[in-house]
Structure 1
Amino acid sequence: MTGLIDVVGGAVLDSLSEPGRLLVARRTAPPQFAGMWEFPGGKVESGETAETALHRELLEELGVRVRLGAELEAGSAAGWPLNARAVMRVWCAELVDGDPRPLQDHDELRWIELGNRRDVLGLPWIPADLPIVEALLDRLQGQTPGHGFPRRSGELIR
């Protein structure tokens, strides 16, 4: 128990094995983040595992089910710092069911091409998500084609 609020996010890719595009979501609230882009996700509820929370959040926010791949490693075991009170863990994922729609907390979803780092980083990201985006791009640059983010067993929760 870290005493911090645990948040989860999904780096939803068009493919875990050969990622080319990332699904991003534009926030509608709170006011300081409205209009900024982020990884969809949310808070882990009491009694939930982080993975279960991510599946629930992506279903609630986007109406999709996903297969989880590898977690993006953060600088600390607790996760990526969001602010003084919260940390986020982020998993790569690919769609297995549903057509993504902005159902909660977002007014637009967009698939962005990962091939042009400048275009990806040029979006107005929520500041806390930017280092995570950079880590994702760094990891993708180091991937051998066809050997993207490994899938995990038992990753689909209905």
Structure 2
Amino acid sequence: MNEWWDLIDASGVPTGETFRRGDTGWPSGAFHLVVTVCIYRADGTVLLTQRAPTKEFAFGWEFPGGSALAGETGPVAACRELREETNVRVEPEALRRVGRFAEETALVDLFVAQEPSRSVVRADPAEVMDWSWVSLSEVNARRQSGVMAAPWGPRLEALWPAATTSIVATDQPRKHTSQ
């Protein structure tokens, strides 16, 4: 695999170095950016994908996402990953970052965005074996039952409250007030 990542420090600041995925000798104290997107519908359901059998954490459910490539911003990478895995297309400006979770060598950014009108999910079989629109409570149920991909347990514990707040707040009718 010839995938290059920009290295960042614990604060997310680029170090100016790159690293090729799969190489040995990961620099101590360095991270790479992982992005993931929770697409939601007006009815409050969200898109989950199930990892293909050939992937690490095979058969686990997750939000679409992956590593930002060298030179990509988080939102651009998130849009690319979403498009590659599901064929759902959103613009970087449509994404709202709801939080960041630190793992051993990755900083994971979770974005939310409303499903674009007329989008059609067409999963890439090399990445995704199945997909489903589920309720917010179903995401919690899947986490608790252990069917989410392993990294998603701690990620959801840390980031899911902010994501659900963002989704619910967006779907509430706006009250018009006069001043």
**TM-score normalised by the chain length of structure 1:** 0.72
Query: For residue 128 of structure 2, what is the aligned residue in structure 1?
Result: 106
What's the CA shift string for 1:71-114, capped at 9, x where partnerless? 1223xxxxx134x2222111011221531121141100111111
Q: Aligned pair 1:119/2:164, yes or no? A: no
Stretch moving more, 28-37 or 48-57? 28-37
What's the CA shift string for 1:52-76, capped at 9, x where partnerless? 11111111111111253421223xx
CA distance in 2 between counterparts of 1:134 and 1:64 reads 26
Query: For residue 25 of structure 1, what is the aligned residue in structure 2?
Result: 49
Q: Aligned pair 1:72/2:94, yes or no? A: no
Pairwise CA distance, 1:128: 1.9
Number of residue pairs matched by the alignment: 139
Root-mean-square deviation (CA), in Å? 2.7
Query: For residue 129 of structure 1, what is the aligned residue in structure 2?
Result: 152
CA distance in 1 between counterparts of 2:84 and 2:49 reads 13
Q: Which has the higher contact order (CA 8 A, sep 6+)?
A: 1
* AA aligned opposite 1:130: G
- Asked which structure has the greater CA Rg, the reply is 2
1:118 to 1:65, Cα distance in 2 relative to 1, 3 A: closer
Q: Aligned pair 1:148/2:170, yes or no? A: yes
Stretch moving more, 41-50 or 116-125? 116-125
3-state SS, counterpart of residue 96 of structure 2? strand
Pairwise CA distance, 1:127: 2.5
3-state SS, counterpart of residue 90 of structure 2? strand
3-state SS, counterpart of residue 130 of structure 2? strand
1:5-24 equivalent positions in 2, closer than 5 A: 5-15=32-42, 20-24=44-48
Query: For residue 59 of structure 2, what is the aligned residue in structure 1?
Result: 35
